[in-house]
Every structure is written in C-alpha cells, then in structure tokens.
Structure 1
Amino acid sequence: MRIEEFDYPLPSHLIAQEPPARRGTSRLLVLERGKGISHHRFPEIVNYLREGDVLVLNDARVIPARLRGIKKGTGGKVEVLLLEKLKEKVWKVAVRGRKILPGTWIEFPRGIMAEVIDDVEGKRIVKFHSSLSMREILNQIGEVPLPPYIKFPTDRSFRKYQTVYARKNGAVAAPTAGFHFTKGILEKIKEKGVEIVSLTLYVGWGTFAPVKVEEVEKHKMEREFYELSEETARIINERKEKGGRVVAVGTTVVRVLETCRREGRLLPGKGWTELFIYPGYQFKVVDVLLTNFHLPRSTPLLLVCAFAGKEAIFSAYQEAIKEGYRFYSFGDAMLII
C-alpha cells in the first residue's frame, strides 16, 4: 500500500486558522457507512447517539511545551519543543537552531538554563537548571505549541487549544476532535442515557508528522503514553455487552481502546502504545467515531480510512471541500456511524 494513495489537494483557505468564535458552533458531516452523507451543525450530534451508548473522551491537557531561548555564547535563536519527560528536569526534545549539539547551553528568560546532554536519533536530551519546578518553568516561559499549519495564531487560538474537559497535564498536542463539545452539549448527551467516560493519551508532536516512507506498512509510530482506568474499562465492557455502541471521540481514543483490548474484552492499564492503524485493520472495540478532517498522508487519515473505507472517506472529503468545510485542528467535525 503506497502513501501517495492517501494524498489529496486541499485549497489553503479551507485550513482553519483559528477556532470558531463560539465553541460548539462548527459544522458536522455525518457519514453513515453504506448509506451516505448528510450535513448538520455540531449540536445535532445528540440526535445520532442513543440510550445505552458510551461516549469516550481523551482528557489529556496540553502543556506549554514550546520554549524560546538563545544559544549561550553566540546569541543565536533556539526553539525547544518538549517531547517526553525522562526525569523531573530531563526531557527529550526537538530543537530548532544552528549546531545545538551535546554540550550546548541554552539561555531562557528569567535566568533559566538548559544543557544539551545527548543526541538520540535526531532528538536532543536536555537538562534544565533552575530553582523552579518544571511546572513553574513552563508556566512562566512556555507557550502552547500550536500546529505548524496555524500560520497566524491569535489569542483565541492559544486559549481554545484545549477541550473543556482537559484535566491531565502532559500532552504536547490536543485531542482536537473534542474541541467541538461544550459543557451544555455534554449534558444533553448524558440526559439521553449515554454514559460519558474518559481515558488519557498524552498526544505527541508526531500526530502532525506526515508519513515519509513510500510503503505505508513500513511507517513506525512515535510512542505515546496512555492510561485506562478500571472504572472506564468496566463501563465500556458492560455497555458493549448489553448492545450499546462505543463512540470514540478522536483517533487518540481509538488507539487506546484498540491497544487495551485483550482476551476478548477491554483491560485497564497504563503504558506506551505504538499501535499504527491503517486500512486492513480489524476494529475490535470502537463502533462509532467522531473526528476532524485530517492532513493528507497522515496517520489519522489512514486510521479513518481503515474505519470507514478509503473510498467512502475520500468521497466525504471531496464533498466537504465542495461545501466549504473547515479542515484540520480548528476545523469542522465528521461523525462516522
């Protein structure tokens, strides 16, 4: 399977540069497998959920993981993006700057310093030196790392790059399918008899990375840490056994649920997942998927093609482009039933 099969042209004006003025007002394209496409506003999602279903959210919260500093000795600009915590003040990071090699010191505002102590497969390992805790460092000098296709970020872009239910700090990218929910919409869903539960996948920067190998099967996912509680696993298992549908909010939720399905049921736990879902994958847990419109050649696009079929997804994307839907993180939503 070649990655070029999952490319498509998208007019640049359809790439949403900021969120809607009011959360919950985006458009919703509903793709009913084997039936067709219909167009709605997001609050109408309630009409497509039914009593006995379970709606699964990713409650990861994006941390201010982008830091801007200068290279000690030269004053050259350096940008650091935190990727993975190794110890309290030791992180695996991506860097932008000239010759940021082991032994380099980076100066940040407020007297905060970081030393590059290793180079691992193109990523750097840095150790921060400050009397402040890592949380204090990020709160004082960090910024939320918006996706690279957001060319003109606004204050609203930074403020709304979180879901309303985000609570576990650690992600460097948001589970964006959840952006559309307001507390009011979630309450209406509960009133319909739908159980709402949460899990956590600390979304990494790799979620924005295009697949660079020609053969899809040779792509390797960046690992991401997940947590699935006993209570969430129990509720999902019980609802599914009674005929309820598992409705995943976003591809990150799908990957955790499919990772944790063993011995015929969902098992709680925490750990790292590198699960790569592409066409041919047999889904074992998820019945319905809420998602956004994804980048060409990306792993989320491959996942939704696996879920609904490539032909159906590309037909839906063509329809969305024709109808002027907004794409990517701050864009509109798609519900696949």
Structure 2
Amino acid sequence: MVYKGILENDRAVAVKKPRIVDEKNDRALTQKGAAEGAADEDQREEFVNEIIILSQINHRNVVKLLGCCFEVPVPMLVYEFISNGTLFDYLHGENSASSIPLDTRLKIAAESAEALAYLHSSTSRPIIHGDVKSLNILLDDNYEAKVSDFGASKLVPMDEDQFVMLVQWTRGYLDPECLHTHKLTDKSDVYSFGVVLLELITRKKAIYMDGSNEKKSLASSFVSMVNQNKLRDIVDDQIREDGAMEVLQEVAAIAVQCLRTTGEERPPMKDVAEDLRRLIRFQQHPWGQKNPEEAESLLGSEPRSYSIASDTMMYQSQEDNMMLNIKGGR
C-alpha cells in the first residue's frame, strides 16, 4: 500500500507499507495464522530487495528512494512523490476520454525505454525489472516517465550457469517464453515493454474486453490485426490521423519486434530506446515527413517488417489461455 506523506519541510513523499496496519496498536495484523506470517516475511524480503536494487540506480526516469525504516513492526519505504499517478490511470482511468497527443505518448515510451535500457546495460550488474507494466510507470507534473516498483527486480547472476526464476507476473504482460522455461531475462522486460507500447498507441488494457464482452490479450489482438494490414483499425482514433500513420507504423514495428516468440529474436532495450528517440525527432520535424530523403535519414533506409509467424501466434494464444484461466497471476 502506498500513502502520500508530508515531511517537516513540506516536501511531499510517497510512503510504501507492505500490509494493512492495526490502527489501535500500530502492529501488523497477525490473527490469521502462519500463512500470513510467511507472507509478511516475503514482503519484508521484497522491501529489502527493492532497497538493494534502487541503491545501485541513478537515473532521472527511475523513481528515487529517499529512505527506509525497518526498526518498526511494519517496515516502510519512502520515495519521491510523483504527482500525476500511473500511466495506467492516465490511459485507462476516469479521464480516459481526454485526448493525449502522439508526441506525449512517444515521449513517455522513450523515457520508459531509456530507464529499462539503463537497468539492463548501464549499472554495475545488469538488473531485470521483472514486472514492467503501465501500473509501474509513474508520471510527474511534466508527464515525464518514472519507472517504479522494484520488488520483483533481480540482479543478473554473475555465474552464467545460474538464472533468475520467474516468481510473479501480471496477466497480459508475461513473456510467453517464461511459461516454458520459468526463467526471467532482460528480454522478458522487453516483451512486457512491448505490451506497454501497445497500450500507448491503442489505449486498450493489456487484457481488455472486446465488443462481445470477451477477454482478449492486447498483444495477440494487435499482432493479428497487423498481420491483416488493419493497423488503422486498432490504434487509438485520437491519433489515427493520416499524417501520423507513418510514425504509428514504425511504433507498431518496434512493438511487434519486442513481442517476438523467443528472447533472442527481440531487440535489446537500448535499441528500442534509440528507435523511439529517432521517431520523436521525425515527429518534431514535419519537413522530414515531406522530404523523402530526410524521412529516410530519420526513419532509416531499411523498411521494417512486422509480420509474425503462425507458430508465434499459436504460442501467444497458448499464453492467453493460460493467463486468462490461471489464478496465480496478479
């Protein structure tokens, strides 16, 4: 649970507690037996893990940990307060009818990608976030992205014979390769980011209700529509202008690359971040859109392919069925 707090110097902070606290004695509720005690210990370990991870990170697009307190029955973590809430609420919340310009969406995508690229390649040991989703991307007053919630994050083992086990997941974002290997890699983050990218350009949830009130996987639906040359039909109509479709086709290509069946087929986050920044430059220079030579320079000379093989679609369908019926996912 996360609360807003005010320090003595009037600075706003976010205070994260692991569970509900008994208001009378300010102790964690323990009346429900040993299972809850084990859960308490797991949450405490998750907090310790988050501190270890965040102590190694210094990036403007990662939420900052300001302090912690473990000398109380209920441990607390104190973070900088990010005023505009989560990307999930921005896209799908009560104000979801409000218009969000394409350049804002691209900016959020690029900043989030840069934060993940930093985790994967610019820290002393690579870090796997492990739970990339729109709920874990915060937005400040200027809609600058801040990646948050590192409780599931892991340092990549130095021993190549060791690996990171999958211990938790969120429906709609899980790398389908993990269903078979039960291993998390940096490419698992890439897959999950691909889903976030789809949320940004479609404004649909990772698991959404279609017109027939059936639950659908955004990843599978999007790839299917793209393979049928129906990209225009699934992107958000607020940004579906003729002048934006060239950029949206490029974003779609990046997203589909992130959603490839196996991790080795997916691009590293560093490349994804660079591609998104390149698209922002193109979007900011209309002359590039009118001049084929300039457009080629900004978008790249090689046309992107975003077709997906049938075995990939079958793999994703398998993931959809498991994720929609399994009760272990969050």
- The structure with higher relative contact order (CA 8 Å, sep 6+) is 1
TM-score, normalised via structure 1 length = 0.27
Where is the strand percentage greater, Structure 1 or Structure 2? 1
Using the size of structure 2 for normalisation, the TM-score is 0.27
- Greater percentage in helix: 2
